[in-house]
Amino acid sequence: MNSRRVILTVRSNLVSRNDRTRIDKVNAELVTLTYGTIVAQLCQDYDSDYQEVNKQLDKMGYNIGMRLIEDFLAKSGVGRCANFRETADMVAKVGFKIFLNVAPTVTNWTSDNNQFSLIFEDNPLADFVELPDDGRAQDELWFSNILCGVLRGALEMVQMQIEAHFVSDVLRGDDTTEMRVSLVRYIEDEMPPEEE
Partner 1 sequence: MAAPRHSAMLSISNASTPQSTSSDKTQVQQPQSPAGTSGLRVPSNRKTIYDRHLNRSRNAELSRASFAYLFGEMVSYAQRRVTGIQDLEKRLNEQGYPLGLRLLDLLFYRATSTSSSALSSSSTSSSPPNRPLRILTLLHLIHGPLWRLLFQRSADALEHSVSPDTPNEYMITDNEPLVNTYISVPREMSMLNCAAFVAGIIEGVCDGCGFEAKVSAHNQPTEMWPSRTVFLVRFGDSVMEREKVLERAGVK
* Residues at the contact surface with partner 1, assessed by CB under 8 A: 23-41, 43-45, 56, 60, 63-64, 67-68, 71, 98-101, 105, 119, 121-122, 124, 127-133, 135, 138, 146, 170, 172-176
Minimal distance in Å, beta carbon 7 to partner 1? 20
Distances 135 to 82, 140, 167, 177 between C-alpha atoms, Å:
45, 9, 19, 20
Cα dihedral across residues 180, 184, 189, 193: positive or negative: negative
Of 24 and 189, which has the nearer Cβ to partner 1? 24
Minimal distance in Å, beta carbon 188 to partner 1? 28
DSSP secondary structure code for residue 82 in this structure: S
Cα(53)–Cα(43) distance, integer angstroms = 6
Of 54 and 183, which has the nearer Cβ to partner 1? 54
Minimal distance in Å, beta carbon 113 to partner 1? 21
Length of the chain: 196
Cα dihedral across residues 159, 14, 90, 36: positive or negative: negative
Bridge partners (DSSP) of residue 58 are: none
Minimal distance in Å, beta carbon 161 to partner 1? 21
Of 164 and 183, which has the nearer Cβ to partner 1? 164
Of 25 and 188, which has the nearer Cβ to partner 1? 25
